[in-house]
Amino acid sequence: MKKMSDKLPQGSIVALISPMHEDGALDREAWLRLLKRHLSAGTCGVVVGGTTGESATLNAAERDWMLEAALDTLSGRCSVIAGTGSASTEAAIAQSTRAADLGADAVLVVTPFYNRPPQRGLERHYRAIADTCAAPVILYNVPSRTAVDLDPGTTIALAGHPNIVAIKEAVADMERVRTLRAAGVMVYSGDDPSAAQAIEQGASGVISVAANVVPEQIAELCRLALAGEFKQARTLNRSLESLYAFLSVEPNPIPVKWMLAEIGCIGPGIRLPLVPLASHFHEAGSMLLRTLNANTSVPESSEVFNET
């Protein structure tokens, strides 16, 4: 995967949540604040409307506005990647083409979920998208959510397409990362706990959920690992293990949205069928936030809402 991959960022890319009011309406002011926060935190890219952004519940107008606002706010200082995957190839083509027309730096296309295509179907799906979309295509493999695994052999075959430039690999398998890198495939980790290890094996960074909460720390983790300072990267990674664990106590993005609401970055909104974090996790979450606030730069509520 050479071609357009040299235009992609290396480091921390946040899988950005979609902020919502309590009634579920998109919180546009909070979206702009989140973008500015990541710009100042050293995040090198944002994913708009991905899984963490509740992509399945966003309508076309919301997707367009969020993408256009991100492109305008970040103004080339931070890469903007649009989540455009679908279980339907036709829908994925339409969403990817639309994102490219609006100016997205790349599109992130998750494997078609639920219908479980075989590998030859996955290959035809991605080739159809890449043949049509003008923006660089990043494959996204997350079998725990989609019930289909994009095999390394299929990924490597797809890498020959001039418009398929990388993969977000959420399988925490370092042998897989090594195999893909040996074949010249640009890899982003899609698994926060093993991201530093994946970068040691040649990955170019992480597309991170945790970066929503601690953007500076994930940016620094990537910087250290990419610079070959693996001992320091491992030490920083260990300090974040409790956060990684908490972010999986219920399905993503339930815990991360609760944490961001607790520190005042966003309101409490989340859309059905997702629901707010179960109350019995709140005490542990509050204790974790106090620890993070003492040891990192997790912002106070007033600090976030006074941003301009």
Are the C-beta atoms of 163 and 129 separated by less than 8 Å? no
Alpha helices in the chain (DSSP H): 28-41, 60-74, 89-102, 119-132, 143-146, 152-158, 174-182, 195-200, 215-226, 230-239, 241-246, 254-262, 282-295, 301-305
Q: Is 257 a catalytic residue?
A: no
Give the residue from 162, 161, 48, 26 showing the smallest Cα distance to 108: 48
Please tell me which residue in 140, 188, 231, 257 is annotated as part of the active site.
140
Please tell me which residue in 126, 168, 188, 257 is annotated as part of the active site.
168
CA distance 42 to 102: 24
3-state secondary structure of 198: helix
Adjacent-strand bridge partners of 226: none
Contacts of residue 308, Cβ cutoff 8 Å, sequence gap at least 6: none
Largest Cα separation within the chain, whole Å, is: 52
Q: Is 244 a catalytic residue?
A: no
Give residue 277's identity as a one-letter amino acid code.
L
Give the residue from 276, 277, 266, 269 showing the smallest Cα distance to 301: 266
DSSP 134-184: SS-EEEEE-HHHHS----HHHHHHHTTSTTEEEEEE-S--HHHHHHHHHTT
Which of the residues are catalytic? 140, 168
